[in-house]
Amino acid sequence: MNTSRPYLAATLCWLVACTGRPAAGQLRSAMELDPQFSPQTVVHTAPEGLVALWLKACNQDPVESDVLRQSARGLIRLHRLEIDIEDQAIEQLAGQLRKPNLDLAARLPIARALVELDAKQYADLLTAQLPMGGRDMAEIVEPALACWQDSALRDQWLARLSDPLVSRRSLHLAIEGLGRLKDLAAQPKLEKIVVDRNQPLSIRLEAAKSLSKLCDAGLEPFVTRLLESPQAASDVGRLIAVLTLARHDSLEAQELFRKLARDDDSAVAAKAIEQLMRIKGARLAPPSSELLRSPDAELRLLSIQVIRRSPKSESVMELCELLDDEHLHVRRDATRALIELAQTSAAPRRAEICKQTASLLDVLHPRRTEHALVVLAKLDFDEAGSQILELLESHDASVSTTAAWALEQLAAPGTAEKILEHIIRHTDRSVKIVEQWSPPRDGGETPLGELAALNLTYERLEHLILALGTIRYQEADSFLRQFIPKPIYVPGGPPRLEVFSQPRTRAAAIWTLGKIYAGRREQAPADMVNAISERMADDVPIPREEPIVRRMAAISLGRIGASDALAQLRQFFDPAADHDELGRACGWAIEQITGEKQQLVTTRIIRHVDWFLVPLDP
């Protein structure tokens, strides 16, 4: 796909480039984690007098149904934002339900708001709404009453279980409610529904779940009879058997679970295995070696859980095999399990796991290679550094990007020279590619494919530049300084595509220079420190300096100990104000330079003003 408008192509490229992103998961770079700031507690606020204004509007006579509806929805939103609501406001809202002529369109959202606010004290009032609210009101009120352990509808629910004319949804609500109440009087009727083939599948499954809530023992004979009946020929019957015993842990129940764990239907087998894993000390079946060869991804995923619970000598090989699974979530979980297994093993065993994982690195098998790289990086196995360096040239973008990230994580000094050579080579190559597009090629066309590849190249370069920072590779100094200057933007022109103009590569270079000269203010070149200081202090709106560049500049000034930059750092740090990311970075830098503890605000306030009705400003 080509376009004759380079700036449009560049924009589209950045949107589609994610197709080559690593499947192993988000690869967070070192500059996002070092230094690591404590997460701020988010506090939501609303305008003062907001709820009082709503209640005043609701108390008008007459009042529009829409005002009541919007007020109820507003209270729900306030509750979800964890903004305190006074009991008086809830009482006034509930009082609207006592009006006999209240429109159902307003009655329903008010009832929903009381349920959302967990207003158990109005259970009787909500129950009284059922006759006039129909099915919609029942959907709101009946589950709430069951959750609150309110038995006001117990007799109605029991009657529905044997009513042949009851609607499916009403029967479902009754079954769910009795299960939550744990009413043993419902057991015979629920057992009858479970084995009734004339009942819809959803009803039978819900009845089985409610039975399991009623009893945590004693249902084994019932399930045994079910499995011996003709219904056992149906996978539905066997699934119901597993669900019915969901809270049982007797030896008889365990034997039934082991039998069902080998079921031909993967849904039945998966549920049975989950039950066995729930029971402490239960013997698991089938073994992980059988599960990981199942055509069902859910069973292969369960094989990893089995390995976690009972690791064996062959577990490493089994997990390595799953690193090449066709399903991403299986590969990711196998990666995590392999890391956990190595971290909990003795040093010799851990080294052996790392060597086995390193043997999987192969450009012909990109899926397993990508995830093996994550394992090796997390386990700090720097012996694989030379192998990983070779993978930087892989034609698979996921492999080469993950390899760059792995080198960043390992930060092995022996890889620094090769890393810098790779960075310089691919930087020069990217510069030549961009030069070909300015002016545009013949016909004015810019290929999207090459733009996407260029973006992925920049992502790899970012990780590799950061690796040099963690290694503190002094020889990279002069090259990295090329990333400091602010790019020159032409108003109305296309975005700059050069590597030296990219926000993240520039930020990575500045972060790396800070690491190289950390604590060495006297050795740090003055012109470099001044240039970094200028980037941090550049708050000109047009063209603006990138926030991540300014933030990394502040951090580097703190690491270097640039006391000459203190005045500028203090300009963007107010101890009493809410801190954005730049402010937190400046506060941290001031602390590094002066040794004085800076009080960083740990709370971030988000003010919500977009409501249907708000007070006028005084």
Within a 10 A sphere around the Cβ of 87, how many other Cβ atoms? 10
Measured CA to CA, the distance from residue 506 to residue 485 in angstroms comes to 9
User: What is the rounded CA–CA span in Å between residue 343 and residue 356?
Assistant: 15
Sign of CA dihedral 556, 560, 563, 565: negative
Q: Please name which of 247, 241, 246 lies closest in space to residue 195, comparing C-alpha atoms.
A: 241
Q: How far apart (Å, rounded) are the C-alpha atoms in residues 170 and 139?
A: 9
**Which tokens is 252 given?**
């008889």
Residue-wise over 90-129: b if at least 16 C-beta within 10 A, else e?
bebbbebbeeeebeeebbbbbbbbbbbbebeebbebbbeb
Q: What is the DSSP letter of 233?
A: G
Return the structure tokens found at 525. Answer: 């070149």
Position 540 scores a pLDDT of 85
Give the residue-averaged pLDDT of 557-580. 87
Distance CA 203, CA 211 (A): 12
- In percent, the amount of the chain with pLDDT more than 70 equals 92
The 8-class DSSP code of residue 183 comes to -
CATH tag, 407-607: 1.25.10
| Separation CA 147–CA 182 (nearest Å) | 11
C-alpha–C-alpha distance, residues 203 and 240, integer Å: 11
Model pLDDT for residues 422-434, shown as the tens digit of each residue: 999 999 988 888 8
| Bridging pattern class, strands 446-447 and 2-3 | antiparallel
Beta bridge partners of 605: 43
d(CA 311, CA 307): 5
What is the C-alpha to C-alpha distance for residues 209 and 230, in angstroms, rounded to an integer?
21
Judge whether 461 and 429 are in contact, CB under 8 Å. Answer: no
Q: Structure tokens of 1?
A: 């796909």
Q: With bands split at pLDDT 50, 70 and 90, how would you rate the model's confidence at 120?
A: very high
Q: Per mean pLDDT, which range of 20-24, 48-52, 98-102, 377-381 is the poorest? A: 20-24
- Note if the pTM is more than 0.95: no
Residue 440, pLDDT > 60, answer no
Query: What is the pLDDT at residue 25?
Result: 56
Residues in the chain: 618
Confidence of residue 601 (pLDDT cuts 50, 70, 90): confident
**pLDDT: is 438 or 454 the higher one?**
454
What is the per-residue pLDDT across 256-294, written as a single tens digit (0 to 9) for each? 999 999 999 999 999 999 999 999 988 988 888 899 899
Residues 26-62 have pLDDT tens digits of: 678 899 999 988 888 899 999 999 999 999 999 888 8
3 state DSSP class of 44:
strand
Contact 440, 405 (CB under 8 A): no
Q: Looking at residue 12, what is its pLDDT?
A: 41
* CB-CB neighbours of 8 under 10 Å: 13
Q: Once rounded to an integer, what is the mean pLDDT over residues 480-494?
A: 84
- DSSP assignment letter at 150: -
Angstrom distances, CA of residue 284 to CA of 262, 309, 319: 11, 9, 18
Q: Considering Cα of 26, then 30, then 36, then 40, what sign does the dihedral take?
A: negative
In which band, very low, low, confident or very high, does the pLDDT at 21 lie, cut at 50, 70 and 90? Answer: low
C-beta separation of 427 from 468 below 8 A: no
Which residue, among 464, 554, 463, 472, has the nearest Cα to 516 in the 3D structure? 472
CA angle 457–461–463, rounded 5-degree value:
120
DSSP 332-394: HHHHHHHHHHHHTS-HHHHHHHHHHHHTT--TT-HHHHHHHHHHHHHTT-GGGHHHHHHHTT-
**pLDDT value of residue 448:** 66
Q: In this model, does residue 8 exceed pLDDT 60?
A: no
511-530 pLDDT tens trace:
999 999 998 888 899 999 99
pLDDT for 5 equals 45
Cβ–Cβ under 8 Å, residues 203 and 175: yes
